[in-house]
Amino acid sequence: MRHLILATLSTVALFAATTMATMGAANASAGGDVFAAKGCADCHYTQGPAREKTIDDQLAKKGPELWYAGSKFQKDWLGKWLTDPKPIRPMKFGSLTVENPADHPKLSGGDVAAVTDFLMGLTSADVAAGKVKPKKNPKGRQIFSKKMPCSGCHQYVGRKKKIMGGRSGPSLVEAGVRLNPDWILAYLQKPKVFKPVKMMPVFVGLLSDKDMLNVSRYVANFKPKKKKK
Amino acid sequence: MRHLFLIAVAIILASQLTIASAKASGAEQVYKFYCAQCHGLTGKGDGPNVTKDFPVSPRNFTNAAEMNKLSDADMRNVIMDGGPSASKSPMMPPWGKTLTDAEVNGLIKHLRTLCQCKGKQG
């Protein structure tokens, strides 16, 4: 009798697990369909490895590549952003003169979860998990705003909660809720994998692994201002 | 037949022209992609990164008097190793790991066309 119960329980558990897994996969594949149907693929490519070889290739893109989206973003942030896409890059994508027009297509209803699952399934084996624990640290801060010109190209929250910094790179004001901390480190360490051609300098050989870890932990700790209630 | 020949010649000429102009625009494109974000598209030091709180003004490359103080070798150093290598601000990034030698040579020539100056010799 006891065996029977155990057997039934484990079958039920197994069944539940497989349905959940297939549902997840089904949702992700539905998400892939939505992604194609909504024209997202006109501006974003979702299959790696990186395709850009020249400046022309990089400038021809209409939106950032998403083939490693699942390694780059935090899932909660992604779902929210797809429903309410606020500008990330201060300037229009690929432009130095025009402001970001804040006109990214929005998703709603069931499409949001499906596309989120689809994008979170696009991962890169080049991101090691569990390396970067977000933390404010003086060494990271020193690199970010004094030793290296990071703050010259990226917005961040400075003293008195003021948004400071340069405008040519993606804003890092929300880096701590938007980006996977481990991806930040991988991005600095493996520029060829993620961004073979970009306006940001290569820091490999200029910053030690330790420095890269410290600055990644520092950036991964950036959180947007809490709204006053 | 004669037409065909003319067309062929025209095509060859046209393709060579585009190759030539692609080469000529190389250094300018490299400049606009990497440097203009701070130094500005026309070199006046007014790129989109230069806001009120940018700590130092990026060099204005159209200022011949200032640019004449730098030799080509000075420029190469600061481009490769960044501001601190020349006791300048770290806001001038080190590009040595990003750009090829040929790209840096092209940039130096391009900066000389922006300032219309020869620079300190030696």
ipTM of the complex: 0.88
Say yes or no to pLDDT of A117 above 60: yes
Task: Report phi then psi at B100, rounded to 5.
Answer: -80, 165
Whether a cis peptide bond, with omega within 30° of 0, leads into A49 is yes
DSSP sequence for A203-228: -BTTB-HHHHHHHHHHHTT--PPPPP
A91's CB contacts (< 8 A; 6+ apart) are A97, A98, A99, A100, A167, A168, B48
What is the reported pLDDT for B18? 44
pLDDT at A33 over 90: yes
Tell me, what's the pLDDT at A95?
A: 97
What are the pLDDT digits (tens) for B57-102?
A: 999 999 999 999 999 999 999 999 999 999 999 999 999 999 999 9
CATH number of A138-220: 1.10.760.10
Smallest CA–CA distance, residue A73 to chain B, in Å, is 25
pLDDT band at A21 (very low <50, low <70, confident <90, very high): low
Closest by alpha carbon to A120, among A55, A27, A215, A189? Answer: A27
Strand partners, A164: A156
Encode burial over A50-86: b for 16+ CB neighbours within 10 A, e otherwise. bebeebeebeeeeeebbbbbbbbbbeebbbbbbeeee
Residue B93, chain A, CB below 8 Å: the answer is yes
Chain A residues with CB within 8 Å of chain B CB: 55-56, 58-59, 90-91, 96-97, 146-149, 152-153, 158, 164-168, 199, 201-206
What CA–CA distance (Å, rounded) separates B111 from B103? 12
Which residue type sits at A51?
R
Fold topology of B21-47+56-115: Cytochrome Bc1 Complex; Chain D, domain 2 (1.10.760)
Find the DSSP H helices in chain A: 2-37, 55-60, 69-72, 75-83, 110-120, 138-142, 150-153, 175-178, 181-189, 191-194, 209-219
Work out the minimum CA distance from A165 to partner chain B, whole angstroms: 7
**pLDDT, averaged across chain A:** 92
Mean pLDDT calculated for residue range A108-123: 97
Is a pLDDT exceeding 70 seen at residue A108? yes
Confidence band of A224 (pLDDT split at 50, 70, 90): confident
| Average pLDDT value for residue range A24-29 | 79
Q: What residue segments make up the domains of chain A, in order of their start?
A: 2-120, 138-220
pLDDT in tens, A41-96: 999 999 999 999 999 999 999 999 999 999 999 999 999 999 999 999 999 999 99
In A64-123, alpha helices (H): 69-72, 75-83, 110-120
